[in-house]
């Protein structure tokens, strides 16, 4: 009942008429699909930044920011494209936080964002292909490229003494990109990948995949998939028939639902997720729990994506993407006063008075390579059924 | 030498036979429901996957309630005892859906394609309803003893180097599937209602002339389908996990099973389920270690010895489907043509 009421309240909020001096920002994430358990917190993160800016009353002489949510589905490029089309042409959003998964993000960027000249900042698209994609200076991401993650994975595995590994990845841009990067770095570091095989998400049964992974063998199984999807299916099936008992889980696999679903058998498995020990992360966690959601994976990045858009608008004095796109990198990087979560009002003041800011935010944003996060990672170990951060990298 | 042979067999049993038997039973139960609706109501019910999800959802809600009341059953999962409630509510759902949606199209004698599209509409509606009630996330409802036989215990017991694991859900799935299928065959063959259903399915006009009440036949069909649906949905959720999204993708292999076996034929549905399940496993399995046990040491293969990589697993059901439709369009057991 509570959920129905909440849903009604949300649809009311979406339906309420926007005032003429409202700025709309689209939040396009996969509210349905393989990462649907992560996206509510991500959207809440982005909207928390908007609320903070609205409450300060300092944005563009008192303009109000409104969030418009749209479903990317994470996997269906056609659906994501039409969602973005609708948000831009009929809702009139000025910028987009999103999308989430790499494939749909590329589709939206190339088919809609570039055609309409709209800035998009993805909190979670990590495919290396997005580094070099043609973007007219419109695309940024607060998540690091998986080219960097591959290095981190190789480092962690070698330090912990895993010399051979079997690997399976989700069969899409994200999985393939990450798997290639892990394989290249791991092999260069002296490790051996015994087999690298894709799996489809949302399948009924993963015994066939686990069968061939088990035959190839290895000290550890790297599962570059999604925690609510095939990734979990693979781990469960491997444990059930005794094929592997320790797993490496890259960022798409880190979330509370996985250890909860698998139980004690997952203890001792390791992984990594973008994250930082900067003070911003802790502040954001408190702010999130006060606002009634969890600072789950990519929620800090979502907050930062929304914050960057609004501050760049403030700096350009315009909500037109062509005017503010060039300011995003200078806001995110030094020089300037460091800005942490909860200080957006202060940042808006500084910008209005012509001073430089260096937005650090919840995920220690530092944009490199033409607009992607340099990448800070937390090394995760599952202990007593919880994802515990054991190290920062 | 003997141990090597046994090791190879255990390896195959662990990675192919046991999972294939379970998955095949789950597909078979699902395909049986498709076949029932197809032969009596004459349309392909695309809402089948979501109906399975619905049945499983009600069972889960009931399971949670029973667990909160401290009602558990030792080594058996509580969900088994919540099943009757799930079945009753799902019967209510299918009958309501028939009354509100399908009956109208039946009365105006709409072509099967119209009914198929209508069932897709119902599929989307149910998908939304389920997400409203239980949410899109994974739900855990399994309790009781997880394994009948653990891989490690098997190794210490037998001294073999390969393990064999049998999950209790795999045992339960196979046992319940056998019971359900036997009951269904008995019902269709020996009871008056079962016979009238077969008559109605064979020739609607003749059946009507001989005084069979069509609405009653339709009602009984939906009731039986609801039982199959709830059972298949719950067993699948128990064995893998319950997540609304996966039930949608379950629809494809289930339809493939029904058609490969011969749509309209109950035996075919079961056969089709096993054919799809085992072909996925046998053809994509890497035989490296099996051959390693069987062949003399110097012939041991260095590659994976895999016929097809698992990438082609999905395609495989469709290849079989196409082959069956070309060579024997009525399916293995000789059902109707589509």
Distance of alpha carbon B245 from alpha carbon B228, whole angstroms: 20
Task: State the Cα–Cα distance between residues B92 and B85, nearest whole angstrom.
Answer: 11
In a domain, B337, yes or no: no
Given an 8 Å threshold on Cβ–Cβ distance, is B310 in contact with A198? yes
- Does residue B334 fall inside a structural domain? no
Give tens-digit pLDDT for A314-370: 999 999 999 999 999 999 998 889 999 999 999 999 999 989 999 999 988 889 887
Q: Say whether B306 and A212 touch across the interface (CB within 8 A).
A: yes
On whether the CB atoms of residues B24 and B244 are closer than 8 A, the answer is: no
CB contact at 8 A, B296 and B54: no
- Across the interface, do B15 and A241 touch by the CB < 8 Å criterion? yes
Write the CA distances from A31 to A73, A136, A365, integer angstroms: 6, 28, 25
Encode pLDDT of A91-129 as tens digits. 999 999 989 999 999 999 999 999 999 999 999 998 888
Least confident of A85-94, B14-23, B269-278, B326-335: B326-335
- Name the pairing type of β-strands A64-71 and A377-383: unpaired
**ipTM metric:** 0.70
Tally of CB atoms within 10 A around A310: 28
First to last CA, chain B: 51
Q: What is the C-alpha end-to-end distance of chain A, expressed in Å?
A: 43
Q: Are B90 and B229 in contact (CB under 8 A)?
A: yes
* Beta-strand runs (E) in chain B: 147-149, 166-167
Architecture of domain A147-273+380-392: 3-Layer(aba) Sandwich (3.40)
The nearest alpha carbon in chain B to A31 belongs to B136
Angle between helices B18-41 and A207-216 (to 10 degrees): 160
pLDDT digits (tens, 9 = 90+) for A196-208: 989 988 776 788 8
Does the CA dihedral A358-A364-A367-A368 come out positive or negative? positive
pLDDT at A87: 94
The stretch A218-247 carries a mean pLDDT of 89
Whose tokens are 């009951």? That residue is B183
Instruction: Write the CB contacts of A240 (distance below 8 Å, at least 6 apart in sequence).
Output: B165, B167
Q: How confident is the model at residue B210 (pLDDT cuts 50, 70, 90)?
A: confident
Strand runs labelled E in A176-254: 192-199, 220-224, 247-249
Reported as type and span, the H/E element at residue B5 is helix B2-12
Could you report the per-residue pLDDT of B158-199, keeping only the tens digit for each? 888 888 888 888 999 999 999 999 999 999 999 999 999 888
pLDDT at B40 exceeding the cut of 80: yes
Give the pLDDT score at A302.
95
Helices then strands, counting H and E runs in chain A, come out as: 16, 16
Q: How far apart are CA B154 and CA B165, in angstroms?
A: 7
Size of interface A-B (CB pairs under 8 A): 125
Which residues, other chains included, contact B331 with Cβ-Cβ below 8 Å and sequence gap of 6+?
B259, B260, B261, B262, B263, B265, B268, B272, B324
Q: Number of structural domains, chain B?
A: 1
Nearest CB neighbour to B249, from listed A203, A209, A214: A203
Helix, strand or coil for residue B238? helix
- Chain B contact for A239, CB < 8 A? no
Task: Report if residue B179 sits inside a domain.
Answer: yes
Containing structural domain, residue B61: 2-327
Q: How far apart are CA A331 and CA A337, in angstroms?
A: 10
Beta pairing partners, A221: A166, A247
Tell me whether A34 touches chain B (CB under 8 Å).
yes
Q: What mean pLDDT is predicted for residues B69-74?
A: 84
pTM of the model: 0.71
What is the CATH number for B94? 1.10.3470
CATH 3.40.50.2300 in chain A is located at 2-145+278-373, 147-273+380-392
CATH says A2-145+278-373 is which class? alpha beta
A176/B contact by beta carbon, under 8 A: no
Taking only the tens place, the pLDDT of each residue in A365-393 is 889 887 888 878 889 999 998 888 888 88
């Amino acid at each position: 009942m509570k959920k129905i009421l909440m849903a009604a309240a949300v649809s009311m909020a979406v339906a309420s008429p926007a005032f003429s001096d409202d700025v709309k920002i689209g939040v396009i994430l996969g509210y349905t699909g393989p990462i649907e358990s992560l996206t509510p917190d991500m959207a809440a993160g982005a909207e928390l930044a908007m609320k903070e800016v609205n409450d300060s009353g300092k944005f563009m002489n008192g303009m109000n920011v409104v969030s418009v949510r749209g479903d990317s589905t994470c996997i269906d490029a056609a659906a994501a494209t039409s969602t973005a089309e609708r948000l831009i042409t009929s809702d009139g959003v000025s910028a987009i936080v999103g999308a989430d998964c790499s494939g749909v993000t590329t589709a939206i960027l190339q088919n809609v964002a570039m055609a309409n000249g709209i800035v998009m900042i993805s909190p979670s698209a990590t495919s290396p292909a997005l580094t070099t994609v043609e973007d007219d200076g419109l695309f940024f991401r607060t998540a690091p490229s998986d080219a960097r993650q591959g290095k981190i994975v190789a480092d962690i595995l070698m330090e912990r003494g895993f010399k051979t590994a079997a690997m399976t990845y989700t069969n899409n841009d994200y999985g393939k990109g990450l798997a290639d990067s892990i394989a290249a770095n791991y092999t260069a570091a002296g490790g051996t990948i015994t087999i690298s095989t894709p799996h489809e998400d949302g399948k009924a049964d993963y015994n066939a995949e686990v069968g061939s992974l088990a035959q190839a063998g290895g000290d550890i199984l790297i599962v570059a998939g999604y925690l609510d999807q095939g990734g979990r299916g693979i781990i469960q099936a491997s444990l059930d028939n005794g094929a592997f008992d320790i797993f490496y889980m890259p960022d798409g696999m880190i979330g509370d639902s996985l250890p909860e679903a698998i139980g004690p058998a997952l203890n001792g498995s390791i992984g990594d997720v973008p994250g930082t020990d900067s003070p911003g992360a802790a502040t954001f966690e408190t702010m999130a729990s006060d606002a009634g959601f969890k600072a789950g994976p990519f929620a800090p990045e979502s907050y930062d994506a929304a914050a960057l858009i609004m501050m760049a608008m403030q700096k350009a004095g315009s909500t037109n993407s062509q005017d503010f796109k060039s300011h995003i990198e200078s806001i995110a990087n030094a020089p300037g006063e460091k800005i942490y979560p909860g200080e957006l009002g202060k940042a808006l003041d500084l910008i209005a008075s012509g001073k430089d800011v260096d937005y650090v935010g919840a995920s220690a944003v530092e944009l490199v390579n033409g607009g992607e996060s340099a990448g800070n990672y937390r090394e995760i170990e599952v202990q007593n059924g919880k994802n515990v951060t054991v190290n920062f990298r | 030498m003997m141990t090597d042979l046994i090791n190879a067999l255990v390896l195959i049993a662990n990675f192919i036979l046991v999972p294939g038997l379970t998955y095949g039973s789950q597909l078979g139960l699902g395909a049986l429901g498709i076949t029932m609706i197809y032969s009596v109501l004459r349309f392909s019910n695309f809402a089948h996957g979501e109906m399975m999800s619905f049945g499983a959802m009600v069972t889960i809600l009931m399971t949670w309630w029973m667990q909160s009341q401290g009602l558990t059953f030792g080594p058996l999962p509580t969900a088994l005892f919540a099943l009757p409630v799930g079945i009753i509510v799902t019967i209510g759902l299918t009958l309501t859906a028939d009354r509100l949606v399908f009956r109208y199209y039946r009365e105006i004698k709409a072509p099967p394609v119209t009914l198929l599209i209508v069932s897709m509409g119902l599929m989307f509606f149910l998908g939304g309803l389920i997400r409203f009630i239980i949410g899109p996330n994974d739900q855990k409802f399994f309790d009781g003893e997880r394994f009948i036989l653990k891989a490690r215990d098997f190794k210490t017991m037998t001294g073999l180097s390969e393990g064999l694991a049998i999950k209790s859900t795999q045992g339960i799935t196979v046992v319940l599937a056998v019971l359900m299928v036997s009951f269904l065959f008995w019902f269709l063959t020996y009871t008056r209602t079962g016979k009238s259903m077969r008559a109605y399915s064979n020739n609607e006009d003749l059946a009507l002339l001989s005084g069979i009440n069509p609405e009653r036949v339709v009602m009984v069909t939906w009731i039986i389908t609801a039982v199959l649906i709830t059972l298949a949905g719950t067993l699948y959720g128990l064995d893998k996990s319950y997540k609304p999204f996966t039930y949608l993708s379950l629809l494809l292999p289930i339809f493939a099973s029904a058609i490969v076996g011969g749509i309209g034929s109950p035996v075919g549905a079961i056969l089709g389920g096993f054919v799809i399940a085992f072909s996925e496993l046998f053809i994509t399995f890497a035989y490296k270690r099996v051959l390693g046990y069987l062949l003399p040491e110097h012939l041991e293969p260095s590659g994976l010895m895999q016929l097809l990589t698992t990438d082609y697993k999905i395609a495989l059901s469709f290849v079989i489907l196409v082959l069956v439709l070309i060579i024997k369009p009525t399916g293995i057991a000789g059902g109707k043509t589509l």
